[in-house]
Amino acid sequence: MTDQPGGVSGGEEWEQLAVKTIRALAMDGPRKASSGHPGTAMALAPAAHVLFSRIMKFDPTDPHWPDRDRFVLSCGHASILLYSMLHLTGYKVSLDDLKSFRQLGSITPGHPENEMTQGVEVTTGPLGQGVANAVGMAVAERFLRAQYGVELSDHHIWAFAGDGCLEEGISHEAASLAGHLGLGRLVMLYDDNHITIDGPTELALNDKPAERFRAYNWHVIELGEQSNDLTALEQAFRDGAAEENRPTLIVLRSHIGWPSPEFTDSPKAHGDPFPPEEIARTKKLMGLPEDESFYVPDEVIAGYQHALEQNRSKRASWTDRVTGAGDKGKALLAQMNGDVSAGLAQPVPDFEVGAQVATRHSFQKSLNATAKGLPAILSGSADLTGNTGTKLDDGMTQSLEDPGGNQLHYGIREHAMGGAMTGMARHGGVLPLGGTFFVFSDYMRGAVRVAAISEAKVFYIWSHDSIGVGEDGPTHQPIEHLASLRAMPGLTVLRPADAYECDAAWRAALECEGPVAMILARQNTPVLAQTKALAPGRVRNGAYVLDEKGDGDPQVILVGTGSEVWLCLDAADALAAEGIASRVVSMPCFEWFEALDIAAQAEVLPADIPVLSVEAGSTFGWSRYADESIGIDRFGASGPGAKVFEYFGFTAPRIAEAAKSLIHAPKGPRRARR
């Protein structure tokens, strides 16, 4: 700390006033909201000022400039710090927006949300997620730099993280991966303030983060007690930016709530607004008007605008270079804008009707077909590349030695993989795919949820989707996972029936705006003539009539997903042999079906025909569409996959018998569809 009351050292007069202004806003926002976290924002005000005024490359007049630096506030509870910096530097965050901090409908929510606030790069809040996001952004930056050169892509990723971020397991996974990859454009400041909600961090933590990160192959700068020294902070940031072959961690010993006379180094500064009298005392100590809230001097705004003039010049020069690069520049812009048209134009792979092909294998063919037109694809897996269908035919391993590599080996780090992919997607220019066994989506769930909130265009390739895993038993057999992920808003869940439906689903997924889960089978399933003919035009409806068997109007509808669809077709043949007409519906996506209007849904599932659903997972959620369900509402069993399927009743004869029972069952209240 500096001995100067409420001040900083190493800055011009306007800069010292700027830091005091940020600290005052950090108190005023939470106080007006009666909610929020002022202390961390106050402590990090000097670091944020230096980064936004002296270091980072950005231009608020063009907030989506592709070659801007990215900033990630992993300790998202300090959101008032970021909102203050966005306001002061000229983003569309007004003083009234700061006054509406944490209020319903405002663009300054309790934790940063990228879809809500201009200048917020990623949605953060769950601690540690931002660390993984920043790692993914650094991968994306290097990937694009390798493709287009430093003339068109040349920027850094900056992140602020706190004690909580580094305690969470995802940060360990992500930091280990970043060190292995040698992500030199990543600089993260660790706010070592020794305070958590419960009290001093020493209650539960005595790690030596500097030693740990050095072991992860990071460049570590131990800045110590210099949180108010603008010159020292600037030098640390520049030293980190100069490190090309390792990510950098700056360890800064800050004092939460400083310079509050009462709440400096207090847990009360973490999650509670300061009392009005303490705010007044602190402002008086800093030489600010103690009775004026949200005080922003004109000279502070003018100072930031002057500091940003060089960045505006850099953006203009970059624009000229992109224009001068001709087709190469156009290709970069198309890639940054998410153009997938060239991939969709690639021919569909040829699959032999009747052949036995697992969708995890057919997906790999579809992926490689479209990848020929998609230089943005960066495919990876958590140690299961060949098993999950995420292997690229021309795949080169992403690494320090091959920064343009399009095959990323995440190792056994599912949670970091999920968070890093969100960062890649939010960075832009990358279409990230990440594969693992479906049951291990549990390890990724926190990252998946943030991706859904963020509307991040991420592709989760989750294979081994059912009891078909067989001998590995209940620990590896997903049961409740489909139902739980379908319940997540903003996530598109696809479980294709066979190779052709898988291809159609993947191509439709490429045009989705948010995250998509491709749920793929380990076991072989027959390639169906019906999907070859119908899936390309109908899969986007979420559910469609695959076939009708028997004479006359259908007496029952069999609706299935994934590897159970062909069983429904076989059961329909058995019913037809007994003179019972039926309809078979493939339903690869609940979300897309729900997007149809009621009339379109009724064409597929008329309310006057009983429906039997068949899916090798929990029956939870199927009551919306089906009168009865064949599913699994217990954990699985260990044994050969085919035997386990038979044991749980996933056979055509059992489906046919259940359908007949449903036809003859007493008519009760109809299901609540839609």
Cα-atom radius of gyration of the chain, to the nearest Å? Answer: 28
β pairing state of 492-494 and 459-463? unpaired
Burial class (CB in 10 A: 0-12, 13-18, 19+), 34: exposed
Secondary structure (3-state) at 523: coil
| Residues 519-543 as b or e (16 or more Cβ within 10 Å = b) | bbbbbbbbbbebbbebbbebbbbbb
Distance CA 532, CA 539 (A): 11
Beta bridge mates, 189: 160, 250
| Tokens matching residue 335 | 């890639």
In total, the chain counts a number of residues equal to: 674
Q: Has 455 been annotated as catalytic?
A: no
Q: How far is CA 622 from CA 433, 561, 564, in A?
A: 29, 12, 15
Distance CA 522, CA 471 (A): 12
Catalytic residue among 15, 141, 173, 414: 414
Burial class (CB in 10 A: 0-12, 13-18, 19+), 177: buried
C-alpha dihedral, 398 to 399 to 403 to 405, nearest 10°:
-20
* Residues contacting residue 46 through CB under 8 Å, at least 6 positions apart: 8, 19, 227, 228, 229, 230, 233
Amino acid at 614: V
Neighbours of 664 (CB within 10 A): 9
Catalytic residue list: 414
